[in-house]
Structure 1
């Protein structure tokens, strides 16, 4: 029960990033560049403190892999913030989540990993559902610029997640990535006119320190206790939670089109993540012989 509560708390933190970002931008409390910058700097601060308290080993900072991760993190953070100028909370979260899964699936293909048939079916269903949702109609039109920016954010986060596979200390690596990315994010100020209100700063700090910094730290702490399929399925709740937050706090409309698209996209992703390869009799015999 405790593990379930911690997992739900983490998913709420991830969904809250979408709600807080949209809340700050829709209310004119802050510009998107400043929100992303404050989120990165405050996240780097709290993650750095966590690493110092744990006395963790310092990671290598200047490797090519590090710079790829930093670039991907910046693409996610900036694309995410600018996209919410025109996208509703749930819409943005759905595009982000679906895009991340498609990116990671493409990464598996590039790495020449074996992809089972069920994963192909799930990926195609998810991609088809997302394409149908984004297709403009007379009744519903998703802002193409916002969707493209969230697509860039999804690509960035997908690559960032792929680069983070196999990290010996995920929290330490994340802290280093945030610390390096934060100063580079200041360049985004050239793309917009800074507009910052005290409440906007508070929302950005809340997103960076609590929902991102502490949220990521908590997720990495409970991740070893979750089966990989359970962890993946748990994240299916994020777009739904974000949409509910947008409805409650921003009076956003829950449309039938969104509900149907969410069911198709999340259903397709669900098909992909619940797959478990069957072990052959030879593998079972080898395992029993080694024990």
Structure 2
């Protein structure tokens, strides 16, 4: 296997594990009432900014001037839109999980991510072949099969919030497909969420609740799983198609469930094993189908 392919698979794997880590950390923090949704979102984004600034400075060997110049070059409408989508995703993700159980939230979130990216791809001429449609359907069925026991009728507010979160993340992903400097671009995107975070803090300050462990989970979510995971995601987007990016993310609920087994002492089940095989099989069909039709 070519070294470039190995690196791509490694980066994709780390990014998806980071996405799943966010779900686990959010579940640990908000599910146990250790922190309110607004504070979790604010600390997550602000700690992500600090982490990415440190990484950026390491890349340019501590040259602050170079970092500032790079950010000035990225002062565009596209960058501000990406920052807005990142903020909308983060805040609706946190608030959505208050009124939805994990299974229902995951199904709505990743269903909307996939649907939005496929629709946008189709509008830009990325037509899907039968094998790709079949793979997408198989992978999506695998996610439904996984979360089916915990599915419940979602509240209207919870459904709207998680749908907005999925659409915002899909748009954020699509905006990153042309990124030539993923670390700098991700840092710029996080930095420009500061005005939105300040407004959120001002509006919700009197309702804030922060415990020590709630703070720890929020910082880990921001500085590690968000900052590093999102930067790597922007790095790999140029090497995979829109359809592949959409369907690959269906692995996240599987990885989140595995994380629940490892870190939240949730039992492993035959349902998780079967669901994992269905999702992995669907993703393999999409990837191989795209390669087959590209060559033919």
Shift of 1:117: 3.4
Closer, same or farther: CA 265–156 of 1 in aligned 2, 3 Å:
farther
In the TM superposition, residue 181 of structure 1 has moved relative to its aligned partner by 1.0
Match of 2:194 in 1: 182
Residue pair 1:89, 1:243 contacting (<8 A) in 2 also: no
Counterpart CA distance in 2 for 1:133 and 1:86 is 20
Residue of structure 1 equivalent to 2:47: 42
Match of 2:18 among 13, 24, 30: 13
Structure-to-structure mapping, 1:55-70, within 5 angstroms: 55=60, 58-59=70-71, 60-70=73-83
Does 2:157 match 1:152? no
Whether the 8 Å contact between 1:93 and 1:242 is mirrored in structure 2 is no
Give me the whole-angstrom Cα distance separating, in 1, the residues matched to 2:122 and 2:168. Answer: 17
Instruction: Answer with 180-189 or 6-15: which moved more.
Output: 6-15
Matches within 5 A, 1:81-100: 81-89=94-102, 91-100=104-113
Change (3 A) 1:186 1:265: farther
Which residue is 1:210 aligned to? Answer: 224
- Is 1:196 the counterpart of 2:201? The answer is no
Distance 1:220 1:39 in 2: 19
Given that 2:79 and 2:189 are in contact with CA atoms closer than 8 Å, whether structure 1 keeps it comes out as: yes
Say which structure is richer in helix: 2
CA spacing shift, 1:242–1:66, aligned 2, 3 Å? same
Aligned equivalent of 1:288:
none
Q: 1:161 maps to which residue?
A: 173
Structure 1 residues 102 and 49 mapped into 2: Cα distance closer, same or farther (>3 Å)? same
Per the normalisation by structure 1, the TM-score is 0.76
Q: In the alignment, which residue of structure 2 is the partner of 1:289?
A: none
Aligned counterpart, 2:32? 27
1:123-138 to 2 correspondences below 5 Å = 123=136
- 1:73 matched to 2:86? The reply is yes
How far is 1:180 from its partner?
0.5
Q: 1:285 maps to which residue?
A: none
RMSD across aligned positions (CA): 3.8
Deviation at 1:200, TM superposition (A): 1.0
Helix, strand or coil at the partner of 1:141: coil
What is residue 101 of structure 1 aligned with on the other side?
A: 114
* Counterpart Cα distance in 2 of 1:224 and 1:152: 22
Query: Which region of structure 1 is more displaced relative to structure 2, 192-201 or 160-169?
Result: 192-201
Contact 1:126 1:266 in 2 (8 A): yes
Q: What is the Cα deviation at residue 83 of structure 1?
A: 1.7
Deviations 1:194-226, CA, capped at 9 Å, x for gaps: 1111221111011100111123345556x4998
Give yes or no for contact 2:177–2:237 (8 Å, CA) kept in 1: no
Q: Deviations over 1:245-288 (max 9, x none)?
A: 234544667788888777766655554344223335xxxxxxxx
Decide which of 236, 239, 261 is 2:253's aligned counterpart. Answer: 239
- Asked if residue 141 in structure 1 is aligned to residue 152 in structure 2, the reply is yes
Q: How many angstroms does 1:66 deviate by?
A: 1.7
Q: Aligned equivalents of 1:250 and 1:273: distance in 2?
A: 32
